Structure 1
Amino acid sequence: MKNLTNHGIDLHTHTFASDGVWSPKSLVEAAKANKIGILSVCDHETLSSLKMVKMYAKKNGIEFIPGVEVAIKHNGSVYHLLMYGFDTENAEINALLEETRLKQWHKKQIMRERLEMRGYKVAESPLDAIAQSISPIYELACSLENDELNFKQAWAICREVEPDYKIAQPAKKVLEIAKNAGAITILAHPGRGGAEIAYASNRAILELVLLGLDGVEAYYHAHSTSEEERLVKLANRYNLLVTCGSDSHDANRKPIAWNPALCDQFLKRLNIRPFSVAA
């Protein structure tokens, strides 16, 4: 097992490969400044930043765990699934991500046309944007943002033209692919909910466990203490793994140095053992 110094852990961050602002270099620098010794990047539907983050993490003495965040659907609801510890060259996982990005690209074209009908000018995406397409509403809001429209206003306008459907892969399909690839699967921010994803009730979590889910992100920057307690209790009852994540996208919410002891069983699955834990 690898021994790490007395540093914290953050298993859920994003870069500009999806909807974050961090570059691989700036994310690692922020993690190091916040005394993080174990870091994972889970960009939405893409693995494109992992090699660069891994390189900078190694230079800075940080243990790096490759990850990805995938939108899944189950019983009419959409959730986000975190996957860790897999071969980033795995053909099934890469085909799954490419399929989702293609659907997102098509949705973005519908939204772009609707925006143009309203008189907004949206830059034409290059052909290779299909491979990079992550979030239609995020990408278009960034395109509309200018001196007259801030990002919040641009987001609201894009929400008005968004087709009434969510892009997500069937949970059973994703969990089977993940299992075949040897990935650890964690339900992201189960207690958050919102416009993009559903709140995960105990029943929903157990249904996903029956499909192969390994654990829950109990410690999350927006979870209340009662939500943490609910999820940890559920994890203990059903022998689920527990993880910690800031969901950091930029300097407004920097990576958080969680105590590695909170997710010790997860780390053991990856053969990682901190030398000592953060206070």
Structure 2
Amino acid sequence: MKADLHLHTCASDGTWRPEELIQNIISAGIGLFAVTDHDSVESIPAVSSLAEKNRLNYIRGVEISTTENGRIFHILGYNIDPENSALNEVLMLNRNSLETRNKKSIEILRERGYPVSPDEYLLYENNPERGGWKALNYAIDKGVCRTYREFFQLFGNREIGMSIDGCVTPGVAISAIKEAGGISVLAHPGSGIYGDNPAESIKLAFDKGIEGVECFHPENNAETTEYSVGFCRRKGLYITGGSDCHGTFVKERWLGKPDVRVAQLSLWDI
């Protein structure tokens, strides 16, 4: 059975509504999937209903942005209760932090002479089905940049365009996921947002209490995949994988790529 346990909808920075996502999952022949929107569980009720209607195997998920001592960790939570108060408090803190950074990014652009206005930004109506986030889409519409990569380059920082201080720590996210009955997994250890040493990132996340690693991901090279699978097997951790598909927003990450089979994963009671 094909699996894709890392998908985004327009509830965070993807372009697909739940209905579109389900249609694409069916077309791709994926038998097990999880939606893991950034700091949001908004799409879970609709996706759960559609998955049941179409007899698809579905895992409730979320992806939480975290930072500690200048390092970034994206933590996936699986099999969560989306109504859990501790989890929702963490997600709200992170969403508020993102909007603070959005406003700060527009102010920085204005100070650099770009044709943007903080007051105009506050009134800007963002269309979530474009993908991305409000500050990015406003900057694109103002002709400041054309893509999210160009937006990041304006600030010399691939992650958000500035410091990500304000997000919760990995420990707080892991505790909230556990409180919500879920399993915590380190997302995409091969991603450049962690630096150039995936093994170090995995070990640090393990020390913070992570219960699994996303061993299969488009940004994991063969060496990272092999190391992470071996690490998980030695430590008895969950092994997951997914495309990190954002619909058409991030075209190089597409549904069902890499081709992951349930037999390659260690999911146990997820």
Of the three residues 231, 241, 244, the one matched with 1:244 is 241
**Superposition deviation, residue 165 in structure 1:** 4.2
Distance in 2 between residues matched to 1:152 and 1:203, nearest whole Å: 27
Amino acid at match of 1:258: V
Q: Counterpart in 2 of 1:30?
A: 24
Distance 1:207 1:152, change over 3 A: closer
Distance in 2 between residues matched to 1:224 and 1:79, nearest whole Å: 18
**Superposition deviation, residue 127 in structure 1:** 11
**Superposition deviation, residue 128 in structure 1:** 11
Q: Is the 8 A contact 2:116 2:142 kept in 1?
A: no
Task: Give the structure-1-normalised TM-score.
Answer: 0.81
Distance in 2 between residues matched to 1:70 and 1:232, nearest whole Å: 22
Of the three residues 134, 142, 150, the one matched with 1:139 is 134
Amino acid at match of 2:169: P
Distance in 1 between residues matched to 2:219 and 2:181, nearest whole Å: 29
**Superposition deviation, residue 139 in structure 1:** 2.5
Q: How does 1:232-271 map to 2 (within 5 A)?
A: 232-251=229-248, 252=251, 253-256=253-256, 257-263=259-265, 265-266=266-267, 268-270=268-270
Amino acid at match of 2:260: W
Distance in 1 between residues matched to 2:133 and 2:208, nearest whole Å: 30
Q: How does 1:5-16 map to 2 (within 5 A)?
A: 7-16=1-10
**Superposition deviation, residue 76 in structure 1:** 3.1
Q: Is the 8 A contact 2:74 2:187 kept in 1?
A: yes
Identity of aligned residues (%): 25
Distance in 2 between residues matched to 1:186 and 1:12, nearest whole Å: 11
Q: Counterpart in 2 of 1:182?
A: 181
Q: How does 1:62-73 map to 2 (within 5 A)?
A: 62-73=56-67
Residue 169 of structure 2 corresponds to residue 170 of structure 1? yes
Distance in 2 between residues matched to 1:32 and 1:142, nearest whole Å: 30
Cα offsets for 1:3-53 (capped at 9, x unmatched) = xxxx31100011111111121111111111110111111111111111122
Q: How does 1:1-279 map to 2 (within 5 A)?
A: 7-117=1-111, 118-121=113-116, 123-125=120-122, 138-146=133-141, 149-152=145-148, 155-156=151-152, 159=155, 162-194=161-193, 197-199=194-196, 201-251=198-248, 252=251, 253-256=253-256, 257-263=259-265, 265-266=266-267, 268-270=268-270
Distance 1:199 1:62, change over 3 A: farther
Q: Is the 8 A contact 1:141 1:158 kept in 2?
A: no
Distance in 2 between residues matched to 1:202 and 1:222, nearest whole Å: 14
Task: Identify unmatched segments of 5+ residues in structure 2.
Answer: none
Amino acid at match of 1:231: S
**Superposition deviation, residue 124 in structure 1:** 3.2
Distance in 2 between residues matched to 1:11 and 1:64, nearest whole Å: 9
Distance in 1 between residues matched to 2:142 and 2:134, nearest whole Å: 17
Amino acid at match of 2:116: K
